[in-house]
């Protein structure tokens, strides 16, 4: 809304999108902070058209949310989430510091801002804005001071880059070897979970002895991954093919499809709530979150 417009000129919450004026970046930003009855395709299309003008404002929205997670209004949280997806779709590398900052927030702060987006798409968003710089992704994957669900997104991001053909599988394999052989302390660490899941999903049988040893010594918490589940993942992986990995980690694309799973489109909530580890996974598998999409 421009300074010349009165408050009555601003569209009301829930107003039909086909009569909302989206002729300015300011109005698009307002619309990106609202909850509509369905994913606002026309808003996303207008945002794409004004990408250059909107990018600084979306980066500012990320910085503001990270600066004060608990102080974010529902509208600011919604804008924060839309900014994540738009900047990821645009492969905006200037977003990398704030995305890493978001996924490294202490306690529940990352969930306070973005709810399920953390576990559902945090890794893919991170991969999309990293610009080939793996240092931040690896640092997050090894960061034992953050929530394991956040830490796991570093490994998910590396998997996504492999799936997209932007990181050779051999590079990821060498990193996993480095983690398992030298970097990980011989003690229970959430990073062992990442090594186990990633190596199993990629069908890397050469890691099986190290992972089985980690289970035997109690370095992998069976509350989040049981030995039988690891073996099932490893057995079900397609050896030498990345098609199934690409299905799990597609590039960030159509935002209607990317955000269509948000709970706000099924029930009147102001923003997506955090999913507890023992609650049903939001992906629809019917399994508990900790046994499905949670990558901690």
Residues 53-82 have pLDDT tens digits of: 999 999 999 999 999 999 999 999 999 999
- Per-residue pLDDT of 74-104, as tens digits, reads 999 999 999 999 999 999 999 999 999 999 9
Which neighbouring-strand residues pair with 291?
Answer: none
Nearest to 95 by CA among 83, 109, 105: 83
- Per-residue pLDDT of 183-204, as tens digits, reads 776 666 778 888 888 888 888 8
pLDDT at 274 over 70: no
Q: Within 13 Å and on the Cβ side, how many CA atoms surround 29?
A: 18
DSSP 3-state of 288: strand
Which neighbouring-strand residues pair with 280?
Answer: 288
The 10 Å CB-count burial string (b at 16+, else e) for 10-26 is ebeeeeebeebebeebe
The 10 Å CB-count burial string (b at 16+, else e) for 187-213 is eebbbbbbbbbbbbbbbbeebeebbee
More confident residue, 223 or 64: 64
Which neighbouring-strand residues pair with 288?
Answer: 280
pTM over 0.85: no
pLDDT at 235 over 90: no
């Amino acid at each position: 809304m421009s300074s010349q417009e009165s408050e009555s000129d601003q569209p009301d919450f829930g107003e039909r999108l086909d009569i909302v004026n989206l002729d300015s970046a300011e109005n698009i930003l307002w619309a990106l902070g609202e909850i509509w009855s369905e994913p606002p395709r026309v808003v996303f299309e207008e945002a794409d058209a004004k990408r250059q003008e909107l990018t600084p404002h979306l980066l500012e929205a990320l910085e503001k949310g990270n600066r004060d997670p608990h102080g974010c209004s529902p509208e600011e949280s919604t804008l924060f989430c839309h900014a994540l997806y738009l900047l990821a779709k645009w492969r905006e590398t200037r977003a990398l510091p704030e995305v890493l900052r978001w996924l490294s927030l202490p306690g529940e702060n990352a969930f306070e801002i973005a709810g399920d987006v953390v576990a559902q798409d945090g890794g893919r968003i991170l991969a999309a804005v990293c610009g080939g710089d793996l240092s931040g992704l690896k640092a997050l994957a090894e960061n034992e001071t953050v929530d394991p669900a956040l830490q796991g997104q570093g490994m998910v991001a590396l998997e996504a880059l492999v799936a997209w053909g932007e990181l050779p599988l051999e590079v990821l394999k060498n990193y996993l070897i480095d983690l398992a052989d030298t970097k990980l302390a011989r003690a229970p660490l959430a990073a062992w979970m990442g090594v186990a899941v990633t190596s199993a999903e990629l069908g890397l049988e050469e890691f099986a002895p190290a992972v089985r040893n980690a289970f035997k010594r109690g370095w992998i918490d069976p509350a989040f991954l049981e030995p039988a589940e690891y073996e099932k993942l490893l057995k079900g992986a397609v050896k030498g093919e990345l098609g199934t990995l690409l299905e799990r980690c597609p590039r960030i694309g159509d935002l209607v499809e990317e955000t269509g799973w948000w709970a706000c489109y099924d029930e009147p909530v102001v923003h997506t709530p955090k999913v507890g580890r023992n609650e049903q996974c939001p992906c629809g598998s019917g399994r508990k979150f900790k046994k499905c999409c949670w990558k901690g």
